[in-house]
Structure 1
Amino acid sequence: MKIAVVTGATQGLGLALVESLAQRMNPEDIVYLTGRDSTRVQQAVETLPAGGARVRGEVFDVGVPDAAARFAGLLRERHGGVDIVFNNAVMRVGPDDDPRAIVDEYTQVNNFGTTRVLRAFAPLLRDDARLIVVASSLGTLHHLAPVLHSRFAELSSLDAVDEQVAAWRDAVRDGSARAGAWPGFVNIPSKIAQVAAVRALASARRAEDRRRGILQAAVCPGMINTPTSGLWWDVSTAPSPAQAAVPLADLALGPVDPAHYGELVRFGKVLPWSVGGAAR
């Protein structure tokens, strides 16, 4: 029996990922559809078609400091380990949001939530498991001013990533980020920090994970036709969440490409972390 977990799964890409995984997994398998609101979790479960793996709804808010550890402990008790984890939970922002007003909650979900999930679920990974963070092509150093590259370039621990995120968050909150080299679009440093977190954890686990057939990676699903994306860009011709979920499910269920380990992957290809950079 295989166990899969998808965070932020009550709508959009997360819900599509649950459906795609469930339809391609076996009836004895379980896919956990998680979100922070119990009513929305239950409603999302009820929208899914029958067939394939069982879908089980659970309340799990990655923005709550101890939630990832508690949920991982629950799954350890129930199943002994996990096979697929998609960290997809995200706080979305619109063009009219003031970064100073939202950056605390934003980083709690998108960044500290990511590192909490990585810390909590990495020890539960079974052989041939997948631990995948849904990020963005914005999550490379190409999108950051060179003077800031050293902040995220080669961080060796999740604690170090959290320290850099906290420093950036504080600069946004007090307004000094706008006076410096930080981009005004908070998604850019946030996505870079997510990829840096994957790279940091992978650097510590690379040899053992490769021996056991485990893949840890960040993934870019590309532009998706959702209402939130539509606030920023013209997404009228972009893929639907269901279409965007297909290559992500392929990454989770297909054979491991060693070149993907610890990297940001888009449509099966590694996106270089830095200018002139190559996959490790």
Structure 2
Amino acid sequence: MSTVALVTGATQGLGLALVEGLAQRLEPEDTVYLTGRDLDRVGAAVAAMPAGGAQVRGELLDVADPTAAERLAAQLKSRHGGVDVVFGNAVMRVGPDDDPRRIVRDYVEVNNFGTTRLLRAFAPILRDNARLIIVASSLGTLHHLAPSLHDRFDGPGSLDDLDHQVARWRDAVADGSARSGDWPGFVNIPSKIAQVAAVRILAADRRESDSARGILLAAVCPGMINTPTSALWWNVSDAPTPAQAANGLVDLALGPVDPAHYGELVRGGKVLPWSPASGRATVVPYAATTASS
């Protein structure tokens, strides 16, 4: 049976590198779907792929569209019978000059609701020995959040419950009330935590059946990457390129499953603990992390 892989947010940066890395390590009879929200950019990215390896096919997928992931999953189910590798990499990036109040609704729609939509749509069509991996960050642990907020992400028992908590945070940022609470001003922190929480929630429901079928469901931190967006925040001159960063993620997708990785946030092959062992979090105050006053 040929392998079917899909990468979201794949027209540039890490997503594009993941498509190329998968394609070069798979066989000509396999298929890697390069997806994005702009059809022209999808087509250009597919045309620029180097020859050899798996066939790369472009598909339109805007994860901010409430039904897009479900529609594409149904198409791939009909076309191939299921999927073997899914990377959730679609992201709306935020810059230091962006006002969180102005961008948070669109940001959450892509980064968080886009993640839960992808999980709901593609988890049911995973074939045996498949991998469903959400690209997150080392910021996606409770270490970076005030303890008073931990239950927002550690308590929900379903993806719907988590979406509700994320919407509450989104609304608090948008109306300014988050400033008077314990929320960090850097919207990346709650967003990444919620992405990892989504993986953990789904994994709790699927652990037994996925284990029997050899399926890996995990979040992954690629580490700092040398991209123009990252350079707005940090000195990334010595950081790996997207192609270099993609290597370890492709290893995770195509290599043997480590049971310890299931449902966890993985970086460099190691699990990052979800919650602080000491009960104390490394929390950055709102005023120190908000980009605009």
Residues 140 and 272, structure 1, Cα contact 8 Å, conserved in 2: yes
Residues 85-116 of structure 1 show CA distances to partners (whole Å, capped at 9, x for unaligned) of: 00000000100001110111000000000000
Cα distance in 1, alignment partners of residues 11 and 5 from structure 2: 15
Residue 179 of structure 1 corresponds to 180
- Aligned-partner SS, 1:52: coil
- Aligned-partner SS, 1:122: helix
Residue 265 of structure 1 corresponds to 266
Cα distance in 2, alignment partners of residues 198 and 37 from structure 1: 27
Residues 23 and 51, structure 1, Cα contact 8 Å, conserved in 2: yes
Residues 16 and 241, structure 1, Cα contact 8 Å, conserved in 2: yes
Shift in Å at residue 154 of structure 1? 3.9
Shift in Å at residue 160 of structure 1? 1.2
Residue 58 of structure 1 corresponds to 59
Residues 113-151 of structure 1 show CA distances to partners (whole Å, capped at 9, x for unaligned) of: 000000000000000000000000000000001110111
How much is the aligned-residue C-alpha RMSD, in angstroms? 0.7
**What amino acid is the match of 2:223?**
G
- Aligned-partner SS, 2:59: strand
Cα distance in 2, alignment partners of residues 268 and 158 from structure 1: 26
Cα distance in 1, alignment partners of residues 32 and 120 from structure 2: 20
TM-score, scaled to structure 2: 0.94
TM-score, scaled to structure 1: 0.98
Residues 154 and 196, structure 1, Cα contact 8 Å, conserved in 2: no
| 2:217 is aligned with 1:196 | no
Cα distance in 1, alignment partners of residues 274 and 155 from structure 2: 10
Cα distance in 2, alignment partners of residues 192 and 73 from structure 1: 29
- Aligned-partner SS, 1:130: strand
How many pairs align?
277
Residue 212 of structure 2 corresponds to 211
What 5-or-longer segments of structure 2 have no aligned partner? 279-293
Cα distance in 1, alignment partners of residues 80 and 157 from structure 2: 31
Cα distance in 1, alignment partners of residues 77 and 126 from structure 2: 10
**Counterpart mapping for 1:24-35 below 5 A:** 24-35=25-36
Cα distance in 1, alignment partners of residues 219 and 155 from structure 2: 16
Residue 291 of structure 2 corresponds to none
Residues 179-235 of structure 1 show CA distances to partners (whole Å, capped at 9, x for unaligned) of: 110000000000000000000000000000000000000000000000000000000
Q: Percent identity?
A: 75
Return structure 1 stretches of 4+ with deviation > 6 angstroms: none
What 5-or-longer segments of structure 1 have no aligned partner? none
Residues 172 and 178, structure 1, Cα contact 8 Å, conserved in 2: yes
| 2:152 is aligned with 1:151 | yes
**What amino acid is the match of 2:98?**
D
Residue 134 of structure 2 corresponds to 133
| 2:237 is aligned with 1:223 | no
Residue 287 of structure 2 corresponds to none
